């Protein structure tokens, strides 16, 4: 499927390292109670695979598959899995819009920090539903920029955040996709929806400051990038990001849980 998206964070070392610090415990706690030893789990847009590899250690007699549209991220995920000696994790290049798997291949499909970058989320969810076994579960987690707490309000901070928001929208993304998860899943035919939200507080603030500033600079928003870096060095800087989370069920038949 052809889409007009342009993935905003890009694949710099900084962006990939930023994702690789994530774990299932820190970023997918809402899904862990739903996993079984034998789950077949698909992680869509797995990036460098740190969360995916944690899942592989949890579903010990099951299997995890990570897909990402970007080959460099799949290579990094494979190396990470090999360094951990995992034998139940595989990774493939692929798009969430055209998943390279037969119908009903997975018990759980997860996507973390992906849907805010998709211009046609309903098409992605139709594909997710196709590869889920009857009664299987979909689990999504994405930020909602309406929930940020960023302080103190240093010069240029608001326009830098505004510029980043414009950039992500221009790239085909949706900075408010988190709040839309219930409607998106319901429209896609999922049931038993369980919505939650959590905050992530970035420490130290220059970590998120540099991550966003590099993307702004790459888009020629140099003044805004400088303003973000300046904010991040303030001794009282805080950046609390709201993550929206949802678990839904493929409705055809129920699996025991």
- φ/ψ of residue 155, rounded to 5: -55, 130
The yes or no reply on residue 51 touching ligand SAM (CB under 6 A) is: yes
Radius of gyration (C-alpha) of the chain in whole angstroms:
18
DSSP assignment letter at 15: H
Q: What residues numbered 85-124 form the site for ligand SAM, per CB under 6 A? A: 95-97, 112-114, 117
Report in angstroms how near the CB of residue 44 gets to ligand SAM at its nearest: 6
**DSSP letters along 142-190, please?**
EE-GGG-EEES--TTHHHHHHHHHHHHHHTT--TTHHHHHHHHHHHTT-
Residue 47 as a binder of ligand SAM (CB under 6 A): the answer is yes
Contact 209, 238 (CB under 8 A): no
CB of 95 to ligand SAM, least distance (A): 4
Stretch of 66-74, 78-86, 191-199, 220-228 lying at the interface with ligand SAM (CB under 6 A): 66-74
Q: Phi/psi at 153 (nearest 5 deg)?
A: -80, 75
8 binds ligand SAM (CB under 6 A): no
**7 binds ligand SAM, rule: CB under 6 A:** yes
- 199 to 228, contacts with ligand SAM by CB under 6 A? none
Candidate residues 56, 63, 64, 73; the one interacting with ligand SAM per rule CB under 6 A: 73
From CA 42, how far away is CA 235, in angstroms rounded? Answer: 41
Interface residues with ligand SAM (CB under 6 A) are 7, 9, 19, 22, 44-47, 51, 68-70, 73, 95-97, 112-114, 117
């Amino acid at each position: 499927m052809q889409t007009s998206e342009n993935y905003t964070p890009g694949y710099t070392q900084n962006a990939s390292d930023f994702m690789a610090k994530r774990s299932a415990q820190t970023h997918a706690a809402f899904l862990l109670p739903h996993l079984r030893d034998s789950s077949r789990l698909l992680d869509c847009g797995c990036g460098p695979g740190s969360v995916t590899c944690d899942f592989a250690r949890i579903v010990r007699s099951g299997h995890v598959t990570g897909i990402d549209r970007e080959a460099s991220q799949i290579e990094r995920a494979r190396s990470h899995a090999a360094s951990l000696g995992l034998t139940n994790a595989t990774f493939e290049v692929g798009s969430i819009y055209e998943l390279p798997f037969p119908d009903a291949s997975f018990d759980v499909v997860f996507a973390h920090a992906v849907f805010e970058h998709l211009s046609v989320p309903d098409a992605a969810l139709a594909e997710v539903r196709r590869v889920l076994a009857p009664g299987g579960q979909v689990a999504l987690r994405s930020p909602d920029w309406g929930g940020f707490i960023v302080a103190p309000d240093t010069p240029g901070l608001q326009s830098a955040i505004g510029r980043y928001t414009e950039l992500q929208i221009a790239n085909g993304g949706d900075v408010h996709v988190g709040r839309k998860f219930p409607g998106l899943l319901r429209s896609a035919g999922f049931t038993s929806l369980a919505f939650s939200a959590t905050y992530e507080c970035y420490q130290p603030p220059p970590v998120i400051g540099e991550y966003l500033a590099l993307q702004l600079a790459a888009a020629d928003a140099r003044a805004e990038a400088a303003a973000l870096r300046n904010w991040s060095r303030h001794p009282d800087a805080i950046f609390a990001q709201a993550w929206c989370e949802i678990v839904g069920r493929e409705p055809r038949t129920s699996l025991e849980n």
